[in-house]
Amino acid sequence: MKRQILIATTNRGKLAELSAMLDLDIQWLSLSDLGGLKEVEEDGKTFAENARKKSAGYALQSGLWTIADDSGLVIDALGGAPGVRSARFSEISSDCCSDRALLDRENTAKVLELMKLVPASERTARFICCLCLACPCPAGAKILLETQGTLDGLMAEAPAGENGFGYDPIFFAPSLGKTVAQLGEDEKNSISHRGNAIRKLKPLLEKLLVGGNWFTP
């Protein structure tokens, strides 16, 4: 029987992306595969804090090694905003929160409005992704691994591109001369903050698996 690792998301696309890039002989599970788990609140002040809290919380509930991530957009001219509030930056009515496309549009519109008078030389920004792997232990969850990936770029003045999600249409990657939403999936994964974090995690996770002590390496 294959070893199981939980990826703390209900997003099948994120599950597919992580499992494909890690490419290990593991049975990957999502939160949707498990019933009765309580949502872990993301109330940390940093991406790393949120990733740790989610991975530890779901590891304890599920009894499985758990990988969690927290990621978002950091804009220098906005003092680091949206930051850990990237997914909730627009603060639109909770009645609409189930509509991911609407949230993305509202978040993007708020950023563009706040940035409309910022000159090109001051539109620097970065996407950040923090990944954390935790395991359940008798004394509580144990943090096993943490990695971080970034993607530096500039905030565009208007959306461009139909791919991706979130702030991708207004995040310009100077090295490619395109917004992230104008990139194909493979091209995006090769430079993205999440892709960079996953590539750092893979050799570390492989080393743990080879160690053979599944719960308390």
Domain-located, residue 16: yes
Cα–chain-centroid distance for residue 117? 29
Marked catalytic residue, from 23, 43, 70, 95: 70
Quick one: pLDDT at residue 92?
66
* Token representation of residue 106: 């509202």
Quick one: pLDDT at residue 14?
78
What's the domain count of the chain? 1
Domain-located, residue 216: no
Asked if 81 and 89 count as a contact pair (C-beta separation under 8 A), the reply is yes
Domain-located, residue 196: yes
Spell out the alpha helix ranges (H) of 99-145. 100-115
Separation CA 107–CA 90 (nearest Å) = 5
> Looking at residues 41-49, what average pLDDT do you find?
94
Domain-located, residue 168: yes
Domain-located, residue 100: yes
Q: Given a cut of 70, is residue 1 above it in pLDDT?
A: no
Residue 163 CA: distances (Å) to CA of 20, 64, 83, 140, 182: 19, 33, 22, 40, 6
Domain-located, residue 116: yes
Residues 58-112: pLDDT tens digits?
A: 999 999 999 999 999 999 999 999 999 998 898 764 444 557 788 889 999 999 9
The residue that leads in pLDDT, 148 or 92, is 148
Domain-located, residue 192: yes
Residue 138 pLDDT level (bands cut at 50, 70, 90): confident
Separation CA 163–CA 169 (nearest Å) = 8
Quick one: pLDDT at residue 216?
44
Residues 164-200: pLDDT tens digits?
A: 889 999 999 999 999 999 999 889 989 999 999 999 9
Range of the domain at 142: 4-211
Question: What mean pLDDT, rounded, does the chain reach?
Answer: 90
The percentage of residues in the chain with a pLDDT greater than 70, rounded to a whole number, is 93
Global model pTM greater than 0.95: no
* 23 classed as catalytic: no
Separation CA 2–CA 27 (nearest Å) = 6
CATH number of the CATH domain containing 139: 3.90.950.10
- Give the residue among 151, 150, 147 at the shortest CA–CA distance from 202: 147
Domain-located, residue 136: yes
> Looking at residues 149-162, what average pLDDT do you find?
96
Quick one: pLDDT at residue 217?
39
